[in-house]
């Protein structure tokens, strides 16, 4: 019997495979209940603080809509409109918010900040992305794979994550896939692999769950993949100056038609956590175009649009899975 009442949601390593699977099942149930038009409100009277020290579209909206649909109230705090960090310490802010709110979401920089918040708040804290981990994203990705796998469980699926694997996404894909017993491959330059302690932790989980872990700098490692997953090449908080070098390092790992052909799987599907640089529709992409002449970056426009259906299912699933996290902890 899984019970996550009152529990923080800080990183995948804090959960057992059974707990993680239970959240996925709950998310699917809540999604089906919403589709039936008979949604029950399990968070009526609850208040949730949403702290965003980095920008967001999906995560913020997912928390707000999920909370609202379950009857909870949210307050949004950004770095310029709160005292956090510059005028009041994280432990003090945690103790203030913990007196008023039933739960706190935090998106920001180092993982230690969300861990400190959790240590002092006295109420459940939810990680909406840090430099090291992006656990709510993983629930959405896995729910999406389940919905697009033709009935196969995660433990029978092969996921190849291609690109910057040393990021929050790389770490989280590795550990969450290990939890679910998947065949997971991180395909990246050696310099952009997860830290040794993250790999060791994932391998220890894999020894229990039967997951298969491959770290490779060779594109051959995508052979047989059911899903290819990528993310932007420079994450929030990384300096602008890094782009040129990162582009040069990661251009061979672009998700394009040639890479998909290497899977040998004509039904391979592509995931992207978004936002994506697949065209010149953003100011950052246009700046990079001026610098490099490139018009598409981690994923080609052609591959992105061919997989738009599953990629935007994945975006929608942020809401259903975050709802499950809130209901599990506070419902």
- Is position 107 annotated as part of the catalytic site? yes
- Is position 273 annotated as part of the catalytic site? yes
User: How far is Cα 147 from Cα 83, in angstroms, rounded to an integer?
Assistant: 42
User: How far is Cα 25 from Cα 280, in angstroms, rounded to an integer?
Assistant: 38
- Is position 8 annotated as part of the catalytic site? no
State the minimum distance, in angstroms, from the CB of residue 274 to ligand CP: 5
Q: Which is nearer to ligand CP, 127 or 263 (CB)?
A: 127
Nearest residue to 185 (alpha-carbon basis) of 212, 160, 151: 160
Q: Which does 56 bind (CB under 5 to 8 A by kind): ligand NVA, ligand CP, none?
A: ligand CP
- Is position 231 annotated as part of the catalytic site? yes
State the minimum distance, in angstroms, from the CB of residue 273 to ligand CP: 4
Task: Name, in order, each residue with C-beta under 8 angstroms of 100's C-beta and a sequence gap of 6 or more.
Answer: 47, 49
Q: Which is nearer to ligand CP, 158 or 317 (CB)?
A: 317
Exactly one of 131, 141, 164, 231 is catalytic; which is it? 231
Which residues contact ligand NVA (rule: CB under 6 A)? 129, 167-169, 231-232, 235-236, 273
- DSSP annotation string for 38-59: ----SSTT-EEEEEESS--SHH
User: How is residue 196 written in tokens?
Assistant: 């040794």
User: How is residue 159 written in tokens?
Assistant: 């996921």
Q: Which does 307 bind (CB under 5 to 8 A by kind): ligand CP, ligand NVA, none?
A: none
Q: Which does 188 bind (CB under 5 to 8 A by kind): ligand CP, ligand NVA, none?
A: none
Exactly one of 113, 273, 278, 320 is catalytic; which is it? 273
- Is position 34 annotated as part of the catalytic site? no
Longest dimension (CA), the chain: 56
Which residues contact ligand CP (rule: CB under 6 A)? 56-59, 129, 137, 273-274
Whether omega for the bond prior to residue 275 falls within 30 degrees of 0, making it cis, is yes
User: How far is Cα 190 from Cα 186, in angstroms, rounded to an integer?
Assistant: 10
State the minimum distance, in angstroms, from the CB of residue 171 to ligand NVA: 10
- Tell me which residues are annotated as active site: 107, 134, 137, 231, 273, 318
């Amino acid at each position: 019997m899984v019970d996550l009442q009152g529990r923080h949601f800080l990183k995948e390593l804090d959960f057992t495979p059974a707990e993680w699977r239970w959240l996925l099942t709950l998310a699917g149930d809540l999604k089906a209940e919403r589709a039936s038009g008979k949604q029950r409100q399990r968070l009526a009277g609850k208040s949730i603080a949403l702290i965003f020290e980095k920008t967001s579209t999906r995560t913020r909206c997912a928390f707000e809509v999920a909370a609202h649909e379950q009857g909870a109230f949210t307050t949004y705090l950004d770095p310029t409109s709160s005292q956090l960090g510059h005028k009041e310490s994280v432990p003090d802010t945690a103790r203030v918010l913990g007196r008023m709110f039933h739960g706190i979401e935090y998106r920001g920089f180092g993982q230690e900040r969300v861990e400190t918040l959790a240590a002092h708040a006295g109420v459940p804290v939810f990680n909406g992305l840090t430099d090291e981990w992006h656990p709510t994203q993983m629930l959405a990705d896995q729910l999406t794979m389940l919905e697009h796998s033709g009935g196969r469980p995660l433990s029978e699926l092969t996921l190849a994550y291609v690109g910057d694997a040393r990021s929050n996404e790389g770490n989280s894909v590795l550990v969450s896939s290990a939890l679910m017993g998947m065949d997971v491959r991180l395909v990246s330059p050696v310099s952009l692999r997860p830290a040794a302690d993250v790999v060791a932790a994932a391998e220890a989980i894999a020894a229990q769950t039967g997951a298969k872990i491959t770290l490779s700098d060779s594109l051959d490692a995508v052979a047989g993949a059911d899903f290819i997953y990528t993310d932007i090449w420079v994450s929030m908080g990384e300096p602008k100056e890094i782009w040129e070098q990162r582009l040069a390092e990661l251009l061979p790992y672009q998700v394009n038609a040639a890479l998909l052909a290497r899977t040998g799987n004509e039904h391979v599907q592509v995931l992207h956590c978004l936002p994506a640089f697949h065209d010149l529709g953003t100011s950052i992409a246009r700046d990079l175009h001026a610098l490099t002449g490139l018009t598409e970056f981690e994923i080609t426009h052609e591959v992105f649009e061919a997989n738009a259906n599953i990629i935007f299912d994945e975006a929608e699933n942020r809401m259903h899975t975050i709802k499950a996290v809130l209901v599990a902890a506070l419902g």
